[in-house]
Amino acid sequence: MEAYLDNSATTRCSDRACQLMVDLLTKDYGNPSSLHMKGIEAERFVETAKKKIAKTLRVSEKEIIFTSGGTESNNLAIIGAAMANRRAGNHIITTSIEHASVENPMEFLKEQGFDITYLSVDENGIISLEELEEAVTEQTILVSMMQVNNEIGAIEPVAEAAELIKKKNPDTLIHVDAIQSYGKMYIYPKKLGIDMLSVSGHKIHGPKGSGFLWVKEKTKLKPLILGGGQQKGMRSGTENVPAIAGLGEAAEEIYENLDEKRAHLYGLKQRFIDGIEKLEGTHVNGKTGEDSAPHIVSVSFEGIRSEVLLHSLEDRGIYVSSGSACSSNNHAGKQKGSKTLRNIHLKENLLDSTLRFSFSVHTTEEEIDYALEVLGELLPVLKKYTRH
């Protein structure tokens, strides 16, 4: 049997999205910038995708910018906003548990002379609103934070954060990385009181290399990619119509019967946690109820290296992750310790013994039970090889 439990890294592309993409690659393959009928038809697919996505967020389709994925969306939001609003101030706030596609642009901006504040988190990975409020000043031009942490599934208090930020400095822009939350929860940016929102297609059963950035109308943003002026000059280059259309289809599909899908995911999560807690030497990290993301479980296994357990599970057809698949290696090719796990003050001996299990709407109870059964068999055997 096979159990794919690494859906936070990527998901299987939906049949509907795939079929539409095949048609666009082989039949309706025009360039949306062309003036002839083939181009006009291609442009219609782009506009349709915008409408589908805008409907899920209750925003205007004019506020959607298509990108190559979550990383580009985060870079455009953070660097684009910082550069466009530099005259207003040079202070930016983020959290200590952000994804590398937020963390590294922050480091880049630091080199450009911006002052970056990193908010701490508690043992569940949640920021302190008091610390955030204290950090906002007249010089704060941007606050960027994730809505759901990609490693432990912590849900940040975005609406409350936005309210106090705007109260203290109405001009501060708020960017939310919704890459792990979009498609798992209802998100209405205008109700949240934010200005920008990043989404990645391949986390919601859309194609890899697709994503979008929602930018509230009149938000000042400097483009990072210059060229032919596509997408109102905000992201030049010929639009990847098959990927955009596939993303639109996946977005529409994931929000159909979302309540049922969420109930399914939370049911799987509870079933998995109930089984894990019966196994000796296991520790579930962060919150585990409906105040956490429905699809992510972080588990530490005492005395067993995560890499060893990961490959032992792989040998049995079970696929999991030891952290963020987007930033698992540093430049020297060596595994980096998880920043998130360090910042929630996980015990030192568990940092290198933690795996992430993540589910999708296609995950079955049988897959969960199989993973638990195999873990029950493997853990006692692997513990015999514990380093002393």
Looking at the annotation, which residues are catalytic? 326
Residue 202 DSSP code: G
C-alpha distances out from residue 50 to 58, 159, 187, 213, 262, Å? 12, 24, 16, 11, 24
Other Cβ atoms less than 10 A from the Cβ of 326: the count is 16
Secondary structure (DSSP) of 295-363: TEEEEEETTS-HHHHHHHHHHTTEE-BSS-GGGSB-TTS-BPPPHHHHHTT--GGGTTSEEEEE--TT-
Task: Report d(CA 135, CA 117) in Å as an integer.
Answer: 7
Secondary structure (DSSP) of 72-137: HHHHHHHHHHHHHTGGG--EEEEETT--HHHHHHHHHHHHTT-EEEEE-B-TTSPBPHHHHHHH--
* CA quadruple 125, 332, 315, 386: dihedral, nearest 10: -70
Closest Cα to residue 176, out of 192, 191, 163, 164? 192
C-alpha distances out from residue 178 to 31, 45, 254, 260, Å? 30, 24, 15, 21
* Half-sphere exposure (Cβ direction) of 5: Cα atoms closer than 13 Å: 33
Secondary structure (DSSP) of 140-184: EEEEEEESB-TTT-BBP-HHHHHHHHHHH-TT-EEEEE-TTTBTT
